[in-house]
Amino acid sequence: MSFGESCSATEGCITCGDTAIVLTVVSIDDADACCQDATGRTERVATELVGPVEIGDRLLVHAGVAIELLPHDGVPEA
């Protein structure tokens, strides 16, 4: 699977808004992952801050960087 555009001047990027969003890992490429949002858009995400990820993991992402690995029930740990 190919990675989507990042920070396109015309389309924007899916993780550079004011808030972090939840994305799902669909493939892994070294320290990056190709992640997908609920509408099917993809973006390359750096995963160094959250450690190793697996396909199907859900990540909280801001500005192209995973900031939290969400538990499988989708609720962030306290």
CATH number of the domain that residue 66 is part of = 2.30.30.140
Is 70 exceeded by the pLDDT of residue 20? Answer: yes
35, part of any domain: yes
CA distance 31 to 26: 14
Q: pTM, whole model, 2 decimals?
A: 0.75
49, part of any domain: yes
What pLDDT is recorded for position 75?
Answer: 59
Count of domains for the chain: 1
Q: What is the pLDDT of residues 37-71, one digit of tens each?
A: 999 999 999 999 999 999 999 999 999 999 999 98
Q: Which residue segment(s) compose the domain that 37 sits in?
A: 21-70
5, part of any domain: no
Is 70 exceeded by the pLDDT of residue 10? Answer: no
What pLDDT is recorded for position 11?
Answer: 56
CA geometry: angle at 45 spanning 30 and 19, to 5°?
160
